[in-house]
Structure formats: structure tokens, C-alpha cells
A and B are shown apart, each in its own frame.
Chain A
Amino acid sequence: MSRGAALAAVLAGVVLLGGMMNTKPDYNSTFQPFVTNTNPGEEGMGRLFTARITEAHIASQIEFDHWGEQLRRDSAGVFLIVRLSASGTARSTRLTAIWLGASGRQYSVSSRVELPSSGIEYKWFQPGLFQRAVAVFELPEDEIKGGRLALMAAGDARLDSAVQIPLQTLGPKQDVTRIGP
């Protein structure tokens, strides 16, 4: 092989390797959960759970019982209260809920509203038994329309399933919402 041909082969290899390095999917894309998009009002099914939104509304303030003490929380934005019904499928499971806002930002369930008896992050969902749960998010109001609820099994979500459910209807805005046990 002549020197020119050898140099061309090396250059072509460098270009190909550079192209591969710059176009290969990154870690986050490679290991992200497999998303199932569900139509509004329908039941979404993940690998370990199935869930449906039953009601959603927004409130300026939230009132709830915290170990016998009645607490009221306000917010710089609003509270989005999503009630849902869910069950495990293959085994007992816990769920993590995230609100994917209209801007693409991700809002976790608010830790300022602790609901040990009804909060989604506290509940175990048994196979075949539908249970009601509530997820409370704190966010700017303009993140709600066009956003959707993402549900996944608690813990490591890499290469697991995630269900995304848009809201079918949003109830009227309330000044204060009381969330009971």
C-alpha cells in the first residue's frame, strides 16, 4: 500500500471514529426508562403496576393533618393535587410520581405536604387490589396545562417502565383544599 493510501485509510478511520463518538447515545438516553404514553382518562400499565388518574385540581393553599396537628401550607406557585387509583401487577410495589411540566421541567411530589396515609410515596400497591392515592405537586400554574403525570416503580428506574398520563380535566381552582387521611 502506498504512503498516500495508508494516510487516507488512517484519516478515514479517524473521521469514522470521531463521528461515532459524537453521535452515540449518552448514558442517560441509553438507560432511561421505557415510556408508555397513555391517553387522558385511560389506564396506564407499567411493568409492575397499573394506574389511572381519577381527579385533579389546583389550590392556593393546602390543609392536612400531620400526626394530630392541623397544618396549612401556602406556595409561591400553586398546588396541583392529582388523585389516582393504582394497583401492583406482578408483585407489591411502591410508586414514584413526577409532574412533567409544560416547559419540560420535572417536579417531584412536594415534601412540604406529608400525607403518610394517602400520599403516593408512602403507599404499597398490591397486585389486583386497586387503592386510591394522592400526589401533591408545588409548581408555577403555567406548568400544568400541557404537562403530564409520570409514574414509575420506586427506586432505580433505569431500563424499567414509566407511564405518562396527561390530565383529562382539571377541576376549578380552590383557595384551600383539605386533604384528609
Chain B
Amino acid sequence: MSETVPPSLTRRIWMRIFAATGVIAAVVASYWIKVDNARQPEEPPATAFGQPVDTGRALLTPRALFVLSADPGDPGVEPGTKLLALTARIENITSQTQSVIFASPPMAATGDLELAEPEVILDRDGEVLQQLQPRLPEDVTILWTLPGTWEAQQVEITFFAQIFKLRDNLYGQSNWLGTYPAGSLLATPEISS
């Protein structure tokens, strides 16, 4: 059996200096990441009409924003209901038919109020958009129901993009994962008679 020789004092000091340096570096780095996040809040980039927003599965180009009256003949529609309508062109940029058009639908906020999830209508049919085929851009209208007390004012619409990962961390399979704000549109809707 060989006799264990304890490390020299100099070696022990160096080892502790290295260990302490690592811990201090980790603390400083995590602190700086928090400071940096607080200093630069994640604001989505501003977008405009005619400017395409990449939502991951599709390119969405907003065209016009207006307020219209809901069709009183539609089931469940109360008289006098107003709708906020965003017309847009949308194109599937993946290699297969997409049934999930928006993993997170566009969010409209007016004043302090966030509007409920919108409906996406295919202009061609006047029905809810169910699929997008690759290489076939479609015109759509995104409709939010406005509260009865709403008065004409600026609206902020936030679009979200979904992250595609070719090899996910679990199985290494290609997958659509979480979403993040990809564009913000500020506009005052036209009032349509």
C-alpha cells in the first residue's frame, strides 16, 4: 500500500482560490443576467400594415384594421355588438398542411382592456379557417368582439411566433414548442358603417 501524501499548503490555497473564483463568477453572471433582463424588457418589435410578421408556421401580413357591426343574424350575437376586424394575408411557410394556424392567437388590447381570443375567418368562404396549405396564401379576417362600452381609440395587436426545433431535448424529434411575441401593431381602427 502506498502512503497518502497530503497536498502541500500552496496547492491547497490554489485549489480554494479556483473554487471560490468559480462560485463568484456564477453569482456575478446570474446577477448580471437579471439586471440585463430588467434593463431591457422583452418588447416585441413594432410592425406596420403591409409588413409581414413571421409566426413560425406562417407569414402574416396585416392590411387594415376597422370596427364593424356584427351580423345580427349570427347565432349568439346580441344586437349592437361591435367587432374589431383585422384583415390580413397569411401564407403557410412550412412543408405540410397546418391545422394549428396560431399556437397563440394574436392578442388585441385597447386601453387597459385585453380582448378575448379572436376568430379567424377565411375570406374565401366566410367560415372559420381550419387549415393552411403550403404555397397557397389566403386572405383572412381576424375578428375580436368589442365590449359595448368601447369608444374609438388606439389598439395594440401583438402577434406571437412559435419556436420550431429540429431536434427537441426529449426525444430528438422535430417539434413545435413555446411561443414568444414577434410583432406589435399600433393602430386606430376605422369605423365602418
Binding site for B on A (CB under 8 A): 26-28, 31, 73-77, 101, 103-108, 110-112, 138-140, 143
Contacts and interface: CB of A to CB of B under 8 A. Distances in A.
Contacts of A74: 124
Interface string B172-184: 1110000000000
A106 B97 contact: yes
B167 A107 contact: no
A75 B136 contact: yes
A110 B134 CA distance: 12
A106 B95 contact: yes
Given A106-B96, A108-B96, A27 B173 contact: yes
Given A26-B173, A27-B173, A111-B130, A105 B135 contact: yes
B131 interface: yes
B133 interface: yes
A179 to B, nearest CB: 16
A3 to B, nearest CB: 19
B136 A139 contact: yes
B136 A76 contact: yes
B128 to A, nearest CB: 10
Interface of B: 95-97, 99, 122, 124-125, 127, 130-131, 133-138, 166-167, 171-174
A106 B132 CA distance: 12
Contacts of B173: 26-28, 31
A105 B125 contact: no
A104 B174 CA distance: 17
A111 B137 contact: no
A27 B172 contact: yes
Contact of A105 (B96, B124, B138, B172): B96
A102 B173 CA distance: 25
Given A27-B173, A28-B173, A112-B125, A105 B137 contact: no
Contacts of A73: 124-125
Most A Cβ at <10 Å: residue of B135, B167, B171, B174: B135
Contact of B134 (A27, A28, A107, A112): A107
B166 to A, nearest CB: 8
A107 B171 CA distance: 26
Contacts of B171: 27
B172 A139 contact: no
Contact of A138 (B133, B166, B172): B133
